[in-house]
Amino acid sequence: MVTINTAAKSTITALVLSAIALVSLLGNSLLILVFFRSKAVKKATNVFIINMAASDLFFPVFLIPRQIIAAITRSPPELFLIRGAMGSFLCKISTFLTDVSITVSMHSLVMITMERFLAIVFPFRIRQLSSKTRLYAILMVWIIALGIHTPYFYIYRLTSSGKCDYNWEPAFNHKITHTRYYTALFVLIVILPFTLITILYSVMVCCLFLNKHKLVIHRSSENAPRRRSGAKELRMLKIAATIVIAFAVCWGPFNIIQFFHLFAPWKLKELNCNISHVLIQIAFILATANCTVNPIVCLVYLRNYRLKESLASLRSQFSNISKGSQRETEL
């Protein structure tokens, strides 16, 4: 018999995931719409942020609905209601695109950090970085993300019970190949990117501190443009840093659990079963919530991100359309 506590947990989980899906769908869609409708936001860092917003849409479309159904029905999230060829295809494509989204987001953070690094440490070189180069970088991010996850189409399959599970057999030894593959993914998607990001941000902070110190010593009217430029770069750095920190906070617990699950599963088994389940659930919800970060950060930095005018313009356009439809109805 299901206890009240279990029922309450399922309801709360379903409501939280529904809220995350709604915010992600509306927020990221609005960001993308504003980007394509307004020239004010078509700038360097913004391009990479919009790329993240596009990849984040995979979560509310392919992952969260299954998790909501699992919470409501109190069934395993790996269990698919659809069977047969269609169920097998959905099993493969949903896991594939969800993890592609994570990789795209992670590598987009690297691109954002590198772009800010050039803007602050090598300000003259950033001007040589064309829009075409940035688009090529985004294309490369997607190609890499799609490429390293192509094995999903082989390993993920529906079992006879309808569970979407992974298995490297019969072509490979499952345990050895699985450990090697996910170790490589962990290094490529987590370790290397965050190491590079940490190094670049450390250099940027030192550079900004030195520049700020110089400006304090040489305060004069001729330094006013330079001070304004420095303040602008600092604001953009805050946006980029906030997104990176939010990503680390959201995905950190989940990645730690995955690390122990892969390399030290006995450590997780030593925990109380209920505690382990709660920790995994919290880590998963935190990781899923990352798909709402971009819209929230952009709202916090609304003025700096120059979205205020764009949103007002869009609101005005929708208002005019609504009034036009109302007049036609009255006629």
Read out DSSP for 101-116?
HHHHHHHHHHHHHHHH
Q: Comparing 267 with 87, which gets the higher pLDDT?
A: 87
pLDDT value for 322: 53
pLDDT band at 84 (very low <50, low <70, confident <90, very high): confident
Q: Comparing 36 with 218, which gets the higher pLDDT?
A: 36
Q: For residue 113, is pLDDT > 50?
A: yes
pLDDT value for 204: 86
pLDDT value for 1: 42
Work out the average pLDDT over 66-70.
Answer: 90
Q: For residue 314, is pLDDT > 60?
A: no
pLDDT value for 312: 56
pLDDT band at 228 (very low <50, low <70, confident <90, very high): low
> Which of these, 95, 96, 113, lies nearest to 52 by C-alpha position?
113
Most confident segment among 38-42, 43-47, 224-228, 255-259:
255-259
Instruction: Give residue 271's identity as a one-letter amino acid code.
Output: L
Work out the average pLDDT over 247-261.
Answer: 88
d(CA 240, CA 230): 15
pTM: 0.82
CA distances from 193 to 77, 111, 182, 307 (A): 29, 10, 16, 29
- Report the run of H or E that residue 144 belongs to, with start and end: helix 131-148
Question: Residues, the chain, total?
Answer: 331
Residue 161, number of CB atoms within 10 A of its CB:
11
